[in-house]
Structure 1
């Protein structure tokens, strides 16, 4: 009689049919807050000097229910010329993500790198449209490497912890 060992690579289904595999899905995305200010209109449309742009990004994630998380990409842009401030735009663009069976140590990389990567093209369009609707040429923000930024942040934190663990001298 031959040895009957199973080589089935698919795990046996759960007794109740519940899917226990990890999953994250985008449920909805939306403009949470949008502000466009044109404080120097109509004079700003006649300025000859080239504007200087200051672009700031921030990412936040918070639980909003059982297995639900909101990730918010905040984008602040200020355009200044020699004559003054041409425009200021503040956008909070958010996505609602459903999470199931994902280990806690995998949530932060997703929320701070992958989720913003998913949301950014849509937020970029909102910024471009708002600036254009404000009377200026559309502002097309450069793509951002959220995965690279997250990796740099993790490395900087690890180096900071290593420095704290290895004191330089004695007090």
Structure 2
């Protein structure tokens, strides 16, 4: 017979995407047609940054953004550079205060990433290059690295 004195599990946090959008986009390139005839495959440098802030709209409303930067180059010659800040407005309710930051920095970027990845691929393709398909990102590892750097 089950006991009624067992503690109940806390409710799971509820994460709702209220909006998502390209906050800023920048694409600079050398002529795509000329770049297609390069003697070698360009090197791609990638950078990523994640940020989150509280916004007006409710006590549990936040904006999380992913900043993706990429530079394609052959030796010292830049072929193209792209920078995208892709953001989402999220309602995060039912989470203990200590869990809100990891949700905003890990789970929310996971929800946004496929859309940001597609914007990058579309812009590079429309710029006359093969689409730049960014590999999936380990947002938990990125967050843990940021926490470790802040504590050292």
> Which category of TM-score, normalised to the shorter sequence, fits these structures?
0.7 to 0.9
Partner of 1:51: 42
Matches within 5 A, 1:24-35: 24-35=15-26
Match status 1:128 vs 2:121:
yes
Q: How many residues end up aligned between the 2 structures?
A: 146
Relative contact order, CA 8 A, sep 6+: which one is greater?
Answer: 2
Partner of 1:39: 30
Q: Which moved more, 1:131-140 or 1:93-102?
A: 93-102
Q: Is contact 1:77-1:89 (8 Å) kept? A: yes
For residues 139 and 73 of structure 1, the distance between their equivalents in structure 2, rounded to whole angstroms, comes to 17
Partner of 2:4: 7
For residues 41 and 7 of structure 1, the distance between their equivalents in structure 2, rounded to whole angstroms, comes to 69
Root-mean-square deviation over aligned CA pairs: 2.4
For residues 20 and 78 of structure 2, the distance between their equivalents in structure 1, rounded to whole angstroms, comes to 31
Q: Which moved more, 1:134-143 or 1:42-51?
A: 42-51
For residues 112 and 101 of structure 1, the distance between their equivalents in structure 2, rounded to whole angstroms, comes to 17
Partner of 1:85: 78
The structure with the largest alpha-carbon Rg is: 1
Q: Specify which of 66, 69, 80 is matched with residue 73 of structure 1.
A: 66
Q: Is contact 2:46-2:71 (8 Å) kept? A: yes
TM-score by length of 1: 0.74
Q: Give unmatched runs, 5+ long, in structure 1.
A: 1-5, 12-19, 161-171
Q: Give unmatched runs, 5+ long, in structure 2.
A: none
Q: Is contact 2:32-2:129 (8 Å) kept? A: no
TM-score by length of 2: 0.83
